[in-house]
Amino acid sequence: MGFEALKLKRQFLRALDDMGFSEPTPIQEKAIPRILAGQDLIGVAQTGTGKTAAFVLPLLQHIQGRQEGVPRVAILVPTKELALQVHHAVENFASHTDMRALALVGGVGPKTQIAALSKGAEVVVATPGRFMELYLKGALVVNKLQAMVLDEADRMMDMGFMPQLRDILEVVPKKRQNLLFSATFPSRVERLADEFLLWPTRIEVAPEGTPVSTVDQHMVKVPNLQTKLNLLSFWLTGKHQDSRALVFVRTKEDARKIRQALEAVMPGLVGEIHSNKAQHTRLAAMNQFRQGDVRVLVSTDVSSRGIDVPETEVVVNFTVPRMSDDYVHRIGRTGRANRSGIAYTFVDPTDMVALERVLERLPKDGRPSWKEFPSQVEVTETPPWEAKAMARTIDFQKRKADPTYKGAFHEKKKKKSSGKGKKRRR
C-alpha cells in the first residue's frame, strides 16, 4: 500500500517523497484514516514506528486552508529534545504548504518565542510548562485550537506533568480532536486517557511495551565498572567501529566519566547529553551525532526521548534500566524506520533485581538473549571499594524484598567507650 491509498493530499505526498518515504508503516496505515475521520485516538506504538507522521500528516491536512496565524494544533511532549524533533518533522511534512510551526520549550527566554508567536503559527509543539507560561502571559492564543496531541504520554506521567496537563485542559476549547500516543499503556496513562479523550479508538501495532522487532537484543554478564569499560571500548573500536552508537547510563556523573574514558580511545568521536548541559550544548551534541561528526553519544534516560537518528545502529545499556518502559524506549533508538539495529545490556551483580523486573514485563519473544563474554577482553579484578559498594547495594535490594533479611554485608561498628578509669572533669 502506498500513501496515496490513505487519501493524503498532493502537497503531503510530495513532502513524503522528498523525505524518501514510499510506503506507510503499520501505525500510519491504522491511524491516518481514523484521524482524518475526526476520531479521538489512543495509539500504542514503540518509538521508531513512524508514529509522528501518523498524527502530524492528517492533522496538517485538516487545518490546511484555514490559516489565520493562530494555533490550530497543539502537540504536547515531555522534553525539549522531543519538542525540537517533532517540530522539525512538522516543518518537513508542511514544506509544500504555507503552514508554520513553532517549538515552545524552556531553556531559552520566553521573549523570543513571544515574538515568534506574534508573527503567527498554525502548529505549536510545546512542553506543558512553557505552554502554560506563554498562555498566562497572553502570548499563546488557544481559542482556535482544533486538535491536541499528547505524545509519549507514559513519559509525561513519569515526569509528573499531570497537574500542568489538567491546567491546559481547563483553558483549551472543549470541542476539539484529541490524540494520545504512548509506547506503553499502564494504569496511570489509562487514567489520563479517561480525562483527556472522548470515546477514543485504540490501536496497537504490537502489544504494549514490546521492543521493536528490528532490534537484535543481547545481555552480557560483566563483573565490574572497569570491565564494562573494557568491553565497551573493545566493541566500539572493533566490530562496531563504523557504527553510530548510543550508550545509556543512569546518572549525569556516569555520563561524564564514561565519555572521558571513551574519549581516551576514540578522541573527538564521543559526545555527551544530559539535563545539566545547557540547551545549546545539548543541541550541538545532537547535531554532531546526527551528522556523523560524533560517532558515540552517551546519554541519560531523561535526555533519551528526543533522540531520533535513524542511522543509529547500536545501543548499549551500560547499566540495566530500572523499569521495562525505559528499556523499551532506550533500545527503540535503534532499529528505526524498518532499519535493523543491535542492543547490548551490560549486567553486573547489582543489576540482577532490575533485570528480573524488566524481563518479567517483556513478552517471551521480545526478551534479549545471553551473549558470551568475548575472550579477547580483559576481565579486571573488582577493587575492594567497588566490591563493598556492590555488597551494600545487593543487601539493600534483598532487604527491600524481604524485611527479615539480615544481610551478608556488615559495616564495622566503632566500639563505645565504657568510660572506666577516666577521671570526671569538674
| Span 215-370 CATH architecture | 3-Layer(aba) Sandwich (3.40)
Look up residue 333 and give its DSSP letter.
T
The answer to pTM > 0.85 is no
Distance, CA of 127 to CA of 106 (rounded, Å) = 8
Residue 3: C-alpha distances to residues 15, 158, 179, 184 (Å) = 11, 35, 21, 27
Chain centre distance of CA 21: 23
SS3 for 225-268 is HHHHHHHHHHHHCCCCCCCEEEEEECCHHHHHHHHHHHHHHCCC
- Look up residue 294 and give its amino acid: V
Q: Let me know if the fold of 3-204 is the same as that of 215-370.
A: yes
Is 46:154 a contact under the CB 8 Å cutoff? Answer: no
pLDDT at 143: 94
Q: Per DSSP, which regions of 19-135 are E strands?
A: 41-44, 73-76, 101-104, 123-126
Residue whose C-alpha is closest to residue 54's, from 27, 23, 78, 76: 27
pLDDT at 162: 87
pLDDT at 426: 47
pLDDT at 273: 84
Report DSSP letters for 155-220, one per residue: HHHHTT-HHHHHHHHHHS-SS-EEEEEES---HHHHHHHHHH-SS-EEEESSSTTPPPTTEEEEEE
Distance, CA of 252 to CA of 277 (rounded, Å) = 9
pLDDT at 148: 95
Coil, strand or helix at 299 = strand
Is 240:314 a contact under the CB 8 Å cutoff? Answer: yes
pLDDT at 305: 59
Chain centre distance of CA 16: 24
Ordered by start, the domain boundaries in the chain are 3-204, 215-370
pLDDT at 68: 76
Burial degree of 373 (CB within 10 A; 0-12, 13-18, 19+): middle
Which residues, listed in sequence order, are joined to residue 29 by a DSSP beta bridge? none
CATH topology of domain 3-204: Rossmann fold (3.40.50)
Is 279:107 a contact under the CB 8 Å cutoff? Answer: yes
Coil, strand or helix at 396 = helix
Residues 6+ apart with CB under 8 A from 245: 236, 295, 296, 297, 312, 313, 314, 315, 316
Low-confidence ranges of the chain (pLDDT < 70): 1, 66-67, 206-212, 274-280, 302-306, 337-338, 407-426
| Phi, then psi, of 98 in degrees rounded to 5 | -95, 5
| Phi, then psi, of 42 in degrees rounded to 5 | -110, 120
Q: Which three cell numbers stand for residue 202?
A: 485504540
